Amino acid sequence: MNNTLSRAVIALSILLLACNPLAYTQDEKEESKSQSAFVIYPDESSVTYHTVTINGTPIHYQATAGTITITSLRGDHEPTAQMFYIAYKKLDAQYDESSDDSSDPIFPDPATRPITFSFNGGPGSSSVWLHLGTFGPMRVNPIDDFGNPGPPPYKLVENEYSLLDQSDFVFIDPVTTGFSRAAKDKSEKDFHGVNQDIRSVAEFIRLYLGKEKRWGSPKYIAGESYGTTRAAGLADELQSTHGISLNGVILVSAIMNFQTARFDVGNDLPYPLYLPSFAATAKFHDALSNKYQRMDLEKFLREVESFAMNDYTLALAAGDQLSDNDRDKIASKLADYTGLSKDYILRTNLRITMPRFPKELLRERGETVGRLDSRFKSFDRDDAGESYEYDPSMVAIKNIYTESMNEYLRGDLDYQSDMRYEILTNVWPWSFKGVADNQYLNIAERLRKTMHKIPNMKVFIANGYYDLATPYFATQYTIDHMFLRPHLKQNISMHYYDAGHMMYAEHSMLKKLKVDLDEFYESRAQD
């Protein structure tokens, strides 16, 4: 009887499980819970509608947060990565998606409405900085005009200096940054290199133009820091591989020739090119004599630039053939311009490096200065170190952008993913194979080639005087050594700001950048 009853109970249990799809074993329940609890990508892009007031005019726009799958270019077009983006498209009229009116939103004619693809640098950075710092319709809200974040929590505010009145924008996160990831069976290292990165971003742009029917729109790209390296190569890749001609390229804190910023033994180029930024920093921190402290900044920098490219460059080229008398004169002048002691400069063989300078300048005060923005100050555990422990200007921006972006994604944009949004992540080793084998990367030549092929393409370059990451004088040097024909060099406009690497972090410079970029976009209509 007992065996018969047991068999009946087992049979009944099997029947109940078969008839009830919600009945699982404990292990199955846990597995199901695990699978449903973590969302990688939502099933669809999130589309929302908003309004921002720019220059006193309400701009209605559609915001889309989503991904585009890029694939291998040959064979069966196997997926290789999901690239995340946030796009803003201006509307001709305000659109209420909750109303009973079933009509579709109305957009301007794509043939007359520019579109700008924007990204940041690193490499390994998401597009958050240009997005929430200057171009996008919402921006971070520092506690003061200088750009200090203040206490958390942080909230975004409407960006009255956005460029959405001039262009639609697509903010692209390269693979491994933001929510962009390599496909499951692909390696993220397949995208971590100069050429690999350029090709994947170019493929994203090609796909986006097709999916959104924007091939006929005026097209721009905008990058910051290493994003300018990407932009210079991307202009060439889009033109030569995809047949896409750009109307303009925006370079914020540019670096295209890496020899200008590598303090390696035997490479004397960075020393004169960094000197004007060192001098501007010393002047800002009242580390110079009265003569130079009272001098107008622009006049002072022109004097330093002249010394850097003449007497200083010749002295460096002389090496140990430089006479003791000339060595002493150069050291004295460097001390006058940088605020460092003459004795210290002599002990460096007249070669002041990064990151030594940020530690040495205010050593007697027990303070260090920033790299991205040398106006920011902080202090280390002790004052005897060779270099600073951390960059106080990076600390000032990192958390306000990170917290604001994560709140904005899941709040205003209603994009729900449980993945970590990678603001700035490690993508090293970064491959230079095929573009900088056994040499310094110099991608300016690709930009020159593209400018010759597309003679109407304009280039806007923004430079901060207090930027010790990509110094403005190094950018000038790079442009002067592209050997563009004179009529094409006129297509490059250089703009200078009393600020650092992210000049838009300071309120007054954000306003100035808006004015300068408005003029840049509007000049297209006059061509």
Is there a cis peptide before residue 471, judged by omega within 30 degrees of 0?
A: no
Cβ pair 333, 307 in contact under 8 A: yes
Same domain, 160 and 102: yes
**Does 14 map to a domain?**
no
Helices (H) and strands (E) in the chain, counts: 17, 14
**Does 9 map to a domain?**
no
Same domain, 274 and 252: no
Cα 200 from Cα 137, distance rounded (Å):
26
Task: Provide the domain limits for residue 143.
Answer: 46-259+398-526
Cα–Cα nearest to 163, from 462, 374, 394:
462
**Does 40 map to a domain?**
no
Beta bridge partners of 397: none
Q: Say what the pLDDT of residue 73 is.
A: 74
Q: Say what the pLDDT of residue 36 is.
A: 62
Walk along the chain (527 residues) and give the pLDDT tens digit of each residue.
Answer: 444 444 444 443 433 334 443 343 555 445 544 556 899 999 999 999 999 999 999 999 999 999 999 998 777 789 999 999 999 999 999 988 777 666 899 999 999 999 999 999 999 999 999 999 999 999 999 999 989 999 999 999 999 999 999 999 999 999 999 999 999 999 999 999 999 999 999 999 999 999 999 999 999 999 999 999 999 999 999 999 999 999 999 999 999 999 999 999 999 999 999 999 999 999 999 999 999 999 999 999 999 999 999 999 999 999 999 999 999 999 999 999 999 999 999 999 999 999 999 999 999 999 999 999 999 999 999 999 999 999 999 999 999 999 999 999 999 999 999 999 999 999 999 999 999 999 999 999 999 999 999 999 999 999 999 999 999 999 999 999 999 999 999 999 999 999 999 999 999 999 999 999 999 999 976 66
Same domain, 293 and 411: no
**Does 23 map to a domain?**
no
Pairing state between β 79-90 and 181-182: antiparallel
Same domain, 326 and 217: no
**Does 337 map to a domain?**
yes
SS3 category, 319:
helix
Domain boundary among 359, 390, 421: 390
Provide the residue type at 527 as one letter. Answer: D
Cα–Cα nearest to 357, from 269, 497, 263:
263
Q: Say what the pLDDT of residue 11 is.
A: 44
Cα 235 from Cα 254, distance rounded (Å):
15
Cβ pair 500, 464 in contact under 8 A: yes
Same domain, 204 and 71: yes
| C-alpha separations of 475 from 177, 440, 480, 481 in Å | 26, 15, 9, 10
Q: What is the CATH number of the domain that holds 516?
A: 3.40.50.1820
Same domain, 385 and 409: no
In the numeric block, the tokens 């909230």 are attached to 155
Same domain, 370 and 270: yes
Cα 83 from Cα 45, distance rounded (Å):
12
**Does 35 map to a domain?**
no
**Does 252 map to a domain?**
yes
Cα 198 from Cα 209, distance rounded (Å):
17
Handedness of CA 199, 200, 204, 207 (dihedral sign): positive
For the purposes of burial, counting CB atoms within 10 Å of the CB of 87, is it exposed (0-12), middle (13-18) or buried (19 or more)? buried
Q: Say what the pLDDT of residue 526 is.
A: 67
33, two tokens: 């819970």
**Angle separating helix axes 270-284 and 472-480, nearest 10 degrees:** 150
Phi and psi at residue 490, to the nearest 5°:
-65, -15
Q: Say what the pLDDT of residue 102 is.
A: 61
Same domain, 522 and 428: yes
Domain boundary among 337, 363, 390: 390
Cα 130 from Cα 140, distance rounded (Å):
11
Q: What is the DSSP code string of 168-225? A: EEEEE--TTSBT-EE-TTS-GGGG-BHHHHHHHHHHHHHHHHHHTT-TTS-EEEEEEE
Same domain, 426 and 381: no
Same domain, 255 and 270: no
For the purposes of burial, counting CB atoms within 10 Å of the CB of 188, is it exposed (0-12), middle (13-18) or buried (19 or more)? middle
Domain count, the chain: 2
Same domain, 136 and 194: yes
Q: Say what the pLDDT of residue 131 is.
A: 98
Same domain, 375 and 457: no
Q: What angle do CA 149, 151, 154 make, to 5 degrees?
A: 70
**Does 26 map to a domain?**
no
Cα–Cα nearest to 175, from 331, 98, 303, 67:
67
Domain boundary among 341, 360, 390: 390
SS3 category, 150:
coil
